[in-house]
Structure formats: structure tokens, C-alpha cells
Amino acid sequence: MTYELYYWPHIQGRGEFIRLALEEGGAEYVDVARLPESEGGGRAAVSRVLEGAAGGRMPFAPPILKAGKLLLSQTANILHYLGPRLDLVPDGEAARLWAHQLQLTLTDLVVEAHDTHHPIAKSLYYEDQKPEALRRAADFRTLRLPKFLGYFERVLAANPAGDRYLVGRSVTYADLSLFQVIAGLNFAFPRAMAAMARRHPKLAALHQRVEARPRIAAYLASSRRIPFNERGIFRRYPELDGA
């Protein structure tokens, strides 16, 4: 099957979690909106699939994955579907649900990271809510970020199969997503992340382990990997990273 991914063409955003899974799984896929408009790509491709969904099962927002006749949205839902098909989750209901639970927790962390620079409204510019962003970012750095990182450090330590991965003995989509979150946090909060690095050695090792996987390394070095920028979830505003 050739999958079709619909996501905004100029940011990593939530679509990047799907891209990483498709790349690691060796799947055939088309990142539709990154095609030229003359070939049906661009932002208009995302709008078309949002507006053209049939059967009353319209997606709320991208990322959207078209898999044959299925049209799926919500990052965690898409990964829950792709996991067993791309060999990115162990066999067994308990393991699949555990990976899904971890992905949902990462989704919470992603929202909190985003809201450091847009704590009032997404419709406002960062500069319109900068005082509130400074307060929100301070709380995120001192309380919320250590709580999330500490949790995933403990999950790795508690894995009965060893501390190389979150679930079982092999890489899962949850590991890929955790890699992406750490990469984004390193971009947005390099000072805060460096200060916490010694307390989370297993997370640092997992990040390096995923980064070195052949298919992921090839993807990261390719033009398919969109660089972090100030339009995505993880944004580098030095003042939000603390003194």
C-alpha cells in the first residue's frame, strides 16, 4: 500500500510523528501537500481532503492519513493504526495499548510545549502575548518539563525487557515520537534541556539510539526532513529559555 499523508508543507508539526513512523517502517508514502500545486499538492491539498471527506467521518484537522479507503486523523490514532502494520509495536493487546498510552502522554507534552509561546490564543502573534508566555515558559521549565522527562526516564528504567526502548525489546512508534519531542525541546529550550541532561541519561541515550537508526539517519539527512522553524510547535525564543 502507498499511504497518503496530508499535513501542512512548511512545518514539521504533528505530521512529523507520522513521517518518522513511515520512514522507519520503510513504507511507501506520499507527503501530498509537499508536491507542487500543479501535481495536486500545496496547502490546498489539505483543504480539499478536509472538505471532501465522505460518510460523515470528516477529520477535524491534519495530520490526516489515507490508507486505501480509510481516512484517519489524530496523531495518536494514526500511529495506533500504523504500529502493527509497520512492525512498530509488539504483538499483543496489552503492549499495543501501552504504546498508545505513552503516545497520548507525549501528546500532552507537545501541547504544553506549544503553549509556552502561545498561552492565550493561537490566533494571536507571540508578541501579542509575550508577558504571559514568559510566565508560562517559566512554569513549564521548572515544573512541567521535569515532571514529563522524569516520567519517561522511569518508564525506560522499568521496562522488563531492558531500558533501550519504551515498550518491549525493539523500537516502537512511541520511541520515535519521544525522539522527536526531545529534538524539538533541544531546539526550543537548549539551556533548560542541557541543565536537565544529567538527570535523564536514559532519555539522552534513547534519543541518540533512534537518531542513529539507518532509516531515521537517512531521513534526517534528506530534504524530506523540514528544519525546525518559528512556525511550528517547537519554537526558539531565547527569552523563554530562562536566564
Using alpha carbons, list the distances in angstroms from residue 21 to 60, 80, 151, 225. 22, 11, 23, 13
pLDDT digits (tens, 9 = 90+) for 198-226: 999 999 999 999 999 999 999 999 999 99
Cβ neighbours around 91 below 10 Å, total: 10
Mean pLDDT of 66-87: 96
Q: What is the pLDDT of residues 121-137, one digit of tens each?
A: 999 999 999 999 999 99
pTM beyond 0.85: the answer is: yes
CATH among 1.10.10.60, 3.40.1180.10, 3.40.30.10, 3.10.580.10 for 2-85: 3.40.30.10
**pLDDT of 57:** 80
Task: Write down the pLDDT at residue 80.
Answer: 98
- The four Cα atoms 175, 177, 179, 180 give a dihedral, to 10 degrees, of 170
Cα–Cα dist 59/62, whole Å: 7
If pLDDT is split at 50, 70 and 90, which confidence band does 51 have?
A: confident
Grid coordinates of 148: 514529563
**Residue 243 confidence class, pLDDT cut points 50, 70, 90:** confident
In this prediction, residue 224 carries a pLDDT of 96
Tell which residue, 224, 162, 237, 154, has the closest CA to residue 192.
237
Assess whether pLDDT exceeds 70 at residue 54. Answer: no
Q: What is the pLDDT of residue 1?
A: 84
Give dist(CA 72, CA 226) in Å, integer: 23
User: How far is it, in rounded angstroms, from Cα 153 to Cα 207?
Assistant: 12
Q: Is 162 exposed, middle or buried (0-12, 13-18, 19+ CB in 10 A)?
A: exposed
Q: How many helices (H) and strands (E) are present in the chain, helices listed first? A: 10, 4
Domain ranges of the chain: 2-85, 93-214+235-241
Torsion of CA 193, 196, 201, 203, to 10 degrees: -50
According to CATH, what is the number of the domain 93-214+235-241?
Answer: 1.20.1050.10
